[in-house]
Structure 1
Amino acid sequence: MTIRSWPRRTPVWFLGCLVCCGSLANSAEPGEPEGWTPELILRHKVVGEIAIAPGGARVAFSVSTAVMEDDKSEWISQIHVADADGANGRQLTRGDKSATSPEWSPDGTSIAFLSPRTGPKANLWRIRIDGGEAEQITDEKGGILSFLWAPDGRSIAFLMPDPKTDAEERAERERRDAFVVNENHKRARLYVVSLQPGENSVRGVRRLTAGEMHCGGQVGGRNYDWSPDSTRIVFTHQPTPLVDDWQKSDVSVVSLASGKITALLSTDAAESQPFFSPDGESVAFVCSEIPPRWAFASRLKIVRADGGSTTTLAESHDLKPALLGWSADGTSVLISETFGTVNRVWSIPVDGAAPVAVTSAGAMVSQPVLDSTRTRM
Structure 2
Amino acid sequence: MSSSFRINTSHLATLASGAVLIHSLAVFVILLCVPVQAHGWSVDDTLNVVVISDIDVSPDGKVAAYVVKRAVMTDDRSAWERQVFVSAGGGQATLISDEESVWFSPRWSPDGRWLAFLSDMSGDANIWIIPAEGGRSVQVSDVDTEVLDFQWAPDSRSLGFRAPDPLPDNAKAAQKARDDAQVKGKSFRMKHLWIVPWSPPTGAATSGDDGPRSAGVRVTSGGFSVLDWDWSPDGYFMVFSHVPSPEPANSFFSDISTVAVGTGIVTPLVHDPAMNKSPLYSPDGRWIAYIASDLPPCDFSAFAVFLIPAEGGLPRRLAETPDQRPHLLGWSANGDFLLFWEYRGTSTALSVLPADGREPEDLSALGGVMAGIRLNSSRTSVGFYLPEQLRASRGIRLASGRLRTKAT
Q: TM-score, normalised by structure 2?
A: 0.82
Contact preservation (8 Å) 2:64, 2:87: yes
- Residue matched to 1:159: 162
Q: What pairs up with 1:311-326 in 2 under 5 angstroms?
A: 311-326=316-331
- 1:122 aligns with 125
Give the structure 1 partner of residue 277 of structure 2: 272
Question: Within 5 Å, which residues of 2 pair with 1:332-371?
Answer: 332-360=337-365, 362-371=367-376
Q: Which has the higher strand share?
A: 2
Q: Distance between the aligned counterparts of 1:360 and 1:24, measured in 2?
A: 24
Whether the 8 Å CA contact 2:141–2:213 is kept in 1: the answer is no
Which has the higher relative contact order, 1 or 2, with Cα contacts under 8 A spaced 6 or more apart?
A: 2
Contact 1:151–1:230 at 8 Å: present in 2 too? yes
Choose which of 221, 242, 246 in structure 2 pairs with 1:210. 221
**Alpha-carbon shift at residue 285 of structure 1 (Å):** 0.3
TM-fit CA distance, 1:294: 2.5
Give the Cα separation in 1 of the matches to 2:226 and 2:153.
18
The 8 Å contact of residues 55 and 372 in structure 1, kept in 2 or not, is answered as no
Partners of 2:293 and 2:301 within 8 A in 1: yes
Match of 2:25 among 6, 12, 18: 12
Q: Provide the identity percentage.
A: 34
Shift of 1:47: 1.7
Q: Is the 8 A contact 2:142 2:213 kept in 1?
A: no
Amino acid at match of 1:123: N
Tell me, yes or no, if the aligned pair for 1:344 and 1:363 is still in contact at 8 Å. no
Amino acid in the other structure paired with 1:61: Y
Q: Mean Cα displacement is larger for which, 140-149 or 202-211? A: 202-211
Which residue is equivalent to 2:263?
Answer: 258
TM-fit CA distance, 1:40: 3.1
Q: Deviations over 1:27-81 (max 9, x none)?
A: xxxxxx9443222333343222101000211100111232223442111111110
Deviation at 1:214, TM superposition (A): 0.5
Question: Which consecutive residues of structure 2, in runs of 5 or more, have no partner in the other structure?
Answer: 1-17, 202-210, 383-408
Supply the AA of the counterpart residue of 2:169: D
Counterpart pick for 2:48 among 26, 40, 43: 43
Scaled by the length of structure 1, what TM-score is found?
A: 0.88
Task: For residues 124-151 of structure 1, give each alpha carbon's deviation from its aligned partner in whole angstroms, at most 9, with x where no partner exists.
Answer: 1111122222100111111111111111
Deviation by residue 1:87-112 (Cα, 9 ceiling, x = unmatched): 23111111311100100111212211
Tell me the CA shift for residue 338 of structure 1.
1.0
Corresponding residue for 2:148?
145
In structure 2, what is the equivalent of residue 53 of structure 1? Answer: 58
- Residues 359 and 138 of structure 1, relative CA distance in 2, 3 Å threshold: same
Distance in 2 of aligned mates of 1:112 and 1:160: 17
Residues 140 and 213 in structure 2, CA contact (< 8 A), matched pair in contact too:
no
Q: Distance in 1 between matches of 2:93 and 2:297?
A: 46
Q: What RMSD, in angstroms, separates the aligned Cα atoms of the two structures? A: 2.2
Aligned twin of 1:177? 180
- From 86, 90, 94, the equivalent of 2:94 is 90
Relative to structure 1, is the Cα distance of residues 287 and 84 closer, same or farther in structure 2, using a 3 angstrom cutoff? farther
Measure the CA separation in 2 of the matches of 1:229 and 1:302.
Answer: 19
Task: Render the CA deviation track for 1:186-241: whole Å, top value 9, x for unaligned.
Answer: 1111111111389x95536111111111101xxxxxx2111111111111101001
Cα distance change on mapping 1:59 and 1:36 into 2, 3 Å: same
Whole-Å Cα distance in 1 between the matches of residues 92 and 20 of structure 2? Answer: 24
SS at structure 1 position matched to 2:289: strand
Aligned amino acid, residue 93 of structure 1: S
In 1, Cα distance between equivalents of 2:177 and 2:316: 55
Once the two structures are superposed, what CA deviation does each residue of 1:224-266 show, in whole Å capped at 9, x if it has no partner? 1111111111111010011121221011111112211111123
**1:28 matched residue in structure 2:** none
Q: Work out the CA distance in 1 between the residues paired with 2:263 and 2:200.
A: 21
